[in-house]
Structure 1
C-alpha cells in the first residue's frame, strides 16, 4: 500500500516536530492532561508520555492526523511512528521494540504465535483504523465516466482486452465514443501492498478472468512497470490511452479519469460515501475484538452503491500484556484515532470510518486490559 506516500515520511524525530505544531494549533485547543474533553469523545489521558509505533508507510499521513488529534486531546503526550513498511512493523512489534505495529496484511500463523508471546501469552488484535480507496485511473481524452466491471478490468490487466473500443468495454459504456486505440497498462514495478490488494480484488471478483494469482509483485504479464504510486500516476498522465491502479489521492492530484465500477448492481463512482458504504458492510472474520476484515467478501460484494476496491491498514496491539502506563496511553491514543482522528482523513486521501464501524473499534480499544 502506498496511500499518498509522497506527502510525508514520518520518522521518530519528525513525529515530535509534528506534535509541537499540533499542540500549537489555534483551531484545536488541547485539553488538560487527564480530561480528554475536546471533540466529544471521552478519552482517559495518562500513562506513558511517548508511545512508539512502526510499520506500514501507507498509513503515514493518517497517523499524522491521529497524532495531531491525540496531542489536542492529551496535552504533553505524543507518539513517534516510523514508517518502515509492514514487515518491519510486525517484526518490531513482536520483538517488543515498539508499542504497536502498522501492517496492511494480517499476521500469518507463525507471526500470531510470536505476537502472543510478546503480549505475555495474550492474543494480539488487529484494529483496522485506516482505509484508502484504490482508483482504476486512466487517460482517455473525450471519455468521461468510463465504466468497467471486474471481469473486463481483469482482462485489461492481463492483456486479453487490448483496445479501448473492445466489445467488452463498449457493452459497459453505451454510446460513449471509445477510440480504436491501444490500451497501455502501467503497473507497480516495486513490491507493493497496492498491487497485492488489487490482485486480491481481481481474484475475488473476477475469478474466471484473473488466473495469474496474487502477491506484491504484479502478475498480469503486460504493460510497463513504474516505481511507487507517483511513478504509475505520472506514466498514465503522460500517455494517452493508459490505465493503472493507484491510490485515489494520486489519481486526483494528477487529474486522471477514474473508472466507475459495476459489480453487478450498476456503476458506482469512487467517493467517500461509496467507499464508506463498502466499509460499513465489511465482514469481520477475526474473533471477538480481533477485527480482521474478510477481504474476499468485501472485494466480491455486489452491494448497490458500494465501491469495494479499498485497502485496509491495521494497528497491531496487545489485548493484554502491556504495563499499566502503556495500556493507558495506548487506549487513549487509539481511542482518539478511532474518534476525532478520523475527521480530517479525507484531505490526505483516506476514507473516514462510518459511525457504526468507529463504534466497533472504540469498543475494541476499551476492551484492551
Structure 2
C-alpha cells in the first residue's frame, strides 16, 4: 500500500516542504509490515490453504496412530472376539477421519461462538477480536483431531482477556461454562501459547479504520468540501457502518492472514460507500499532480451527482517559445511518468481491497446436521477406544440369543 494512504493531510504537506521528513515518514502499513504478525502469520491464498491442509493431514496421522494403539490393546484383551468378527472389527471399516473440507466447516461453526462467549462476559471488542485471532492461528498449526475446539475456544477467550488486560478470574470464568473445569483451561494455555509462537500482540483493522475516518475529513472537507453531499456527519455514518462491516465480515473470515489491517479497513469503507472512498483514494494518490487534473470538486448539477470521474489530462503550454520546446517536452514526459506510476498504485490498491471484500464475504454458515456428524467423528478421533468398544458391544448384542417370553 502506498504510504500516503494512511498519513494525515498536515503531515503530507509538511513533508512536501521538507524532503528529509518525506523520506523518513512511516505509515501504519509500514509499521505493520515490520511486526511479528506480518512476519509469521501472513500468507498468500495458496500458502494459507496449504497450511490448513498440512494441519489436517498431520491430525489424520496422529488420529490414525491413536486408533491403532487402542485397537491393538483391545484386540490383545479379547482376541477371540476380534478374530471371529474381522469383517466388523477392522481399522478400515471403523476408522473414519475428518477431511479437510469437514474440518473447515467445523471450525467455521465454532468461530462465531467465540464472539458470543466474549459478549456473555461483557468483554470489549479488542478481546473478542484477539480471541478469534488466537483460535484461527492455533488451528493453522493443529487439527481438531488433536484438540477438540470447545476447550480451545474457551482457553483462547480466557488468554485473550489476559493479553488485552481485561481481568477475569479463572474461577468466575469456568463457573459460567457448563461442564468445564479450571484444569481444562489452564492445561491448554501453554499449548496454545506455543502454537502461537508466543506472539500475543494482534494488529486489528479498527485502529487504522479510525485513522482513515480522520484523514477522510482532512482530505475531503478541508480547506473546502470536495463533494457537495459529504459532511462530518456523512463520514461519521460511513465510519459506523464500516465498523459493523468489520464485525460481520472481516472478523470471521481469513482476511487477517491475507491483507494488512489498513487494507482491510479501506475494504470496509470501500464496500460501505464506494463513491466517497474512491474519491478519497484518488485525491491521495494523485494529489502531487492536482494542478494537472481536471477539476475534481464535485457539485450538484441539476440536482444530480455528476457520474463522470475526473480524468488525468496533461497539456503543454501552447504559447511556449520554440527554443524551450525540448526542455518542456522532457519535463512533461517526467510528469506523465509520475502520474502514470501513481495511477498504477491507485489501481493496484483498488484491486487489493476488492479482493479483500470478496474473501471477507466468502464465509458461510455450516449446516447444523453436518456439524453434528463432524462432531461425532471428532469425538471418536480423539477417543478411538470408545469407538472400538461401542462396536464390540454392538456385536455382542447381535450375537446374544433373543429373550423367550
TM-score relative to the length of structure 1: 0.24
Higher gyration radius (CA): 2
Higher share of residues assigned helix: 2
Higher share of residues assigned strand: 1
TM-score relative to the length of structure 2: 0.22
